[in-house]
Structure 1
């Protein structure tokens, strides 16, 4: 009567030992299978063109970019502490840019902003955030939020409210167009200004 009971107990122990031995092997096999499936899914996943287009190809610190026209004349200088270029979009972005816009008479117009974007295909510069443009000779300055500049036609314009001032004179408007070669400025939309009269000369008699 004791022998069958002994045999049964032995079989139960062997069964428990086999389960304990197979459990680590099963966990290892499961881990290998999951790693293989993850690697396979990564290899088969197609690249995202939109994500790749947003990836910058070049990052430059504390540099100056110079642009020339077809005749080899310098048209712009753009200095920035941080420049990123995205080749897929042909776009260059600037942090805190300092721009020098050069007209047909080689006069230098200074511009600053919080950020800037240069389209390589159209050679269009967009300055955004506390943008200021200063004329080289006339002494007036333009303040606006966003300023666009076409270096081919040397045309600057803004569709955001602008302040044009040459102290003590100042004018405000909703839009602006400026041509650097001729120093022509056009203000549009709710144009209003402040023009104080010239002070009388001390030598003038009543």
Structure 2
């Protein structure tokens, strides 16, 4: 028997065994690559200014972590600070443990220990506290279905459900409203 024939048969058997092994293992790699929780992009320690259709500031966002989800283009944020402009030139400041921005950047949601303060330029110091709030930058509204506390110098109002016109600083409670006057100390 020729040694070349033996070597050819051994190499042919090794090629068949390698091909068969690769064929059996082909299904596992693509499943590991398609992780459902993976973000489209991630920003760390950033400041972002979102503009409306007219090119004016819709809101400014500062946070330590932002992740955009590829499936629906929404954004999740850790400990956000939203700055929402009002017509008089100041900014409402809204903080929370977590935040969410819609794909069209027309809805902001704050969750967990929400604290919202009125602009310093407005003359009336207003502090809103609740567990969740939705901000609509275009009509300049903030809403909550939870228990909300509104504090101003000399007054404290609590109620369930609230809508605030951020431009005029007018707010409307929906139910369970209680007000307490706290006179200023002289």
Q: Which range, TM-score by smaller chain? A: 0.7 to 0.9
Q: CA deviation at 1:123?
A: 1.4
Give the match for residue 111 of structure 2: 128
Structure with bigger helix share is 1
Distance 1:72 1:122, change over 3 A: closer
Alignment CA distance shift 1:44-1:96 (3 Å): closer
- Greater relative contact order, per chain length (Cα 8 Å cut-off, separation 6+): 2
Q: Does residue 69 of the first structure (1) align with residue 55 of the second (2)?
A: no
RMSD: 2.7
- 1:61-118 CA-partner distances (Å, limit 9, x unpaired): 1011111111111121100101111233121111000110012232210110000000
Matches within 5 A, 1:150-165: 150-165=136-151
Contact 1:141 1:164 in 2 (8 A): yes
Calculate the TM-score normalised by the size of structure 1.
0.72
Structure 1's unaligned 5+ residue stretches are 1-24, 202-206
Question: What's the secondary structure of 1:144's corresponding residue?
Answer: strand
Matches within 5 A, 1:188-203: 188-197=174-183
Query: Which is higher, the Rg of structure 1 or of structure 2?
Result: 1
Query: Which consecutive unaligned segments of at least 5 residues does structure 2 have?
Result: 1-12
Looking at structure 2, the residues matched to 44 and 94 of structure 1 have their Cα atoms a distance apart, in angstroms, of 29
